[in-house]
């Protein structure tokens, strides 16, 4: 094959590749893109990225054009004499030292400026949220309101949120790409990050991720951010502050499942925020079982659940190893965003969480289920729960809105 043929062929491959990338890039909405920020912090970082990309592209194109020109213009030809040999050129060396120095100034000034902005303290009056990374879920506390929740946060658009980031175990990283900013969540250290969601996104859901490899279920350590109006946020907080309504209802009127505060309407949740993880094969649940929330409360309170989970309003449930379940019924997802919060998934989750999400602390609870961590079968003697008991717990938890 002649050299020019090969070149032409390579060029056509490159053209097809670039075209494919362009088509993919323009194809549809990208719900997890960090290049489309909706906060002040996100835009600062985006500005810096665009500046670096622009300067880098200019330098790249100039260098490549000169390089390719020189390669072809001065390539070795037949019967050519050895060209005159030179050593050094002071003028040239001064030029290629000064030009990069000037370019670096245009990079360094905005970089340092952005570093100062992103490291500054949040403005007074910001909404504080304490974030604790766990293997493999997110604990969220609103210290100003006394609210504890997990894997899902509501924040009012237009108000600055100040995240206080800590880890209960290994290093994680807190990142909701569309809101901008990614910050590590480090053991024995408190990191901060703040941003103000645009007022224009007051009715949206955003995906969040753990962005630092933290073990077997790192990919299953997700969260959701709901950006809502101030009124909706106040209403949500008011609801979340209340103890579990079902717990209160045990001795009072049966108001099980009554929604206390604002909850983002499920039908308005965009598809990208709904989990689509498949159920592991071999995991089955007796069809057609109806749970009873009153019975579920009893089973929950007399089983291993209370050792790890807290439910405000259920004085027996005080555990802190797992997510706080006070208003678990109001959440969109379970298992740190891995599955939808629906009875069918919740039942399988309680039955064999370790089969649903690798290597987690939550034990396998279904009787006769195989625990993939302990590598034994769960029996009634070790506290295994029947499908009916699990259905009852599901009814109880689902009622905790």
Stretch that binds ligand CUA, among 112-120, 206-214, 321-329, 349-357 (CB under 6 A): 206-214
DSSP output for 122-146: PPTTPEEEEEEEETTEEEEEETTTT
Binders in 50-89 for ligand CUA, by CB under 6 A: none
Which H/E stretch holds residue 390?
Answer: helix 387-399
Q: How would you class 334 by CB atoms within 10 Å of its CB: exposed for 0-12, middle for 13-18, buried for 19 or more?
A: buried
Tell me: does residue 38 bind ligand CUA (CB under 6 A).
no
SS (H, E, C) 184-228: EECCCCCEEEEECECHHHCCEEEEEEECCCCCCCHHHCEEEEEEE
d(CA 324, CA 362): 13
Question: Which of residues 52 and 361 has its CB atom nearest to ligand CUA in the complex?
Answer: 361
Cβ 162 to ligand CUA shortest distance, Å:
21
Question: Which of residues 129 and 214 has its CB atom nearest to ligand CUA in the complex?
Answer: 214
d(CA 394, CA 312): 17
Stretch that binds ligand CUA, among 28-36, 102-110, 175-183, 212-220 (CB under 6 A): 212-220
State which of residues 122, 129, 176, 221 lies at the interface with ligand CUA (CB under 6 A). 221
Cβ 335 to ligand CUA shortest distance, Å:
14
State which of residues 214, 350, 378, 395 lies at the interface with ligand CUA (CB under 6 A). 214
Query: Radius of gyration over alpha carbons of the chain, in Å?
Result: 28
Question: Which of residues 38 and 218 has its CB atom nearest to ligand CUA in the complex?
Answer: 218
Binders in 357-376 for ligand CUA, by CB under 6 A: none
User: Cβ atoms within 10 A of the Cβ of 163, count?
Assistant: 23
For residue 236, which of 327, 163, 161 has the smallest C-alpha distance?
Answer: 327
Return the exposure string of 34-46: e unless at least 16 CB atoms fall within 10 Å of the residue's CB, then b.
beebbbbbbebbb
Q: Kindly write out the interface string for residues 165-204 of this chain, putting x where it contacts ligand CUA by CB under 6 A and - elsewhere.
A: -------x--------------------------------
State which of residues 218, 309, 351, 357 lies at the interface with ligand CUA (CB under 6 A). 218
Sign of CA pseudo-dihedral 401, 126, 319, 354:
positive
Tell me: does residue 249 bind ligand CUA (CB under 6 A).
no
For residue 358, which of 191, 263, 218, 229 has the smallest C-alpha distance?
Answer: 218
State which of residues 34, 38, 42, 133 lies at the interface with ligand CUA (CB under 6 A). 133
Question: Which of residues 322 and 329 has its CB atom nearest to ligand CUA in the complex?
Answer: 322
Stretch that binds ligand CUA, among 90-98, 214-222, 266-274, 279-287 (CB under 6 A): 214-222
Question: Which of residues 155 and 210 has its CB atom nearest to ligand CUA in the complex?
Answer: 210
Cβ distance 244 to 317 under 8 Å? Answer: no
Cβ 221 to ligand CUA shortest distance, Å:
4
Tell me: does residue 212 bind ligand CUA (CB under 6 A).
yes
Q: Kindly write out the interface string for residues 104-123 of this chain, putting x where it contacts ligand CUA by CB under 6 A and - elsewhere.
A: --------------------
Cβ 177 to ligand CUA shortest distance, Å:
15
Sign of CA pseudo-dihedral 314, 317, 319, 325:
negative
Residues 6+ apart with CB under 8 A from 244: 311, 312, 313, 314, 326, 327, 400
Cβ 153 to ligand CUA shortest distance, Å:
16
Contacts with ligand CUA by CB under 6 A lie at: 133, 136, 172, 210, 212-214, 218, 221
């Amino acid at each position: 094959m002649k050299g020019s043929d090969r070149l032409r062929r390579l060029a056509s491959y490159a053209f097809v590749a670039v075209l494919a990338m362009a088509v993919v890039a323009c194809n549809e909405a990208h719900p997890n893109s960090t290049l489309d920020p909706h906060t002040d912090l996100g835009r600062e970082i985006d500005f810096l990225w665009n500046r670096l990309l622009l300067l880098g592209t200019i330098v790249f194109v100039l260098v490549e054009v000169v390089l390719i020109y020189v390669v072809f213009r001065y390539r070795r030809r037949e019967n050519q004499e050895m060209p005159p040999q030179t050593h050094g050129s002071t003028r040239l060396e001064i030029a290629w030292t000064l030009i990069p120095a000037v370019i670096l100034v245009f990079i360094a000034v905005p970089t340092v400026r952005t570093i100062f902005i992103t490291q500054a303290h949040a403005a007074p009056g910001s909404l504080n949220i304490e974030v604790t990374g766990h293997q493999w879920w997110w604990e969220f506390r609103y210290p100003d309101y006394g609210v504890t929740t997990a894997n899902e946060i509501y924040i009012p658009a237009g108000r600055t949120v100040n995240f206080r980031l800590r880890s209960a175990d290994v290093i994680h990283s807190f990142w909701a790409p569309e809101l901008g900013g990614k910050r590590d969540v480090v053991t024995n250290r408190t990191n901060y990050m703040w941003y103000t969601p645009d007022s224009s996104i007051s009715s949206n859901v955003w995906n969040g991720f753990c962005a630092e490899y933290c073990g077997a279920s790192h990919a299953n350590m997700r969260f959701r951010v709901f950006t809502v109006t101030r009124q909706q946020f106040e209403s949500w907080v008011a609801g979340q502050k209340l103890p579990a309504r079902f717990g209160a209802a045990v001795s009072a009127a049966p108001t099980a499942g009554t929604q206390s505060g604002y909850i983002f309407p499920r039908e308005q949740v965009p598809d990208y925020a709904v989990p689509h993880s498949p159920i592991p094969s071999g995991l089955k649940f007796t069809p057609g079982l109806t749970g009873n929330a009153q019975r579920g409360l009893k089973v929950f309170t007399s089983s291993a659940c209370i050792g790890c989970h807290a439910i405000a309003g259920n004085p027996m449930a005080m555990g802190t190893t797992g997510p706080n379940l006070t208003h678990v019924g109001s959440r969109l997802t379970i298992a740190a965003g891995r599955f939808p919060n629906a009875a069918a998934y919740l039942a399988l989750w309680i039955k064999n969480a370790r089969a649903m999400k690798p290597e987690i602390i939550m034990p396998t609870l279904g009787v006769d289920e195989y625990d993939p961590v302990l590598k034994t079968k769960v029996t009634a003697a070790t506290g295994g729960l029947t499908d009916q008991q699990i259905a009852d717990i599901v009814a109880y938890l689902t009622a905790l809105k």
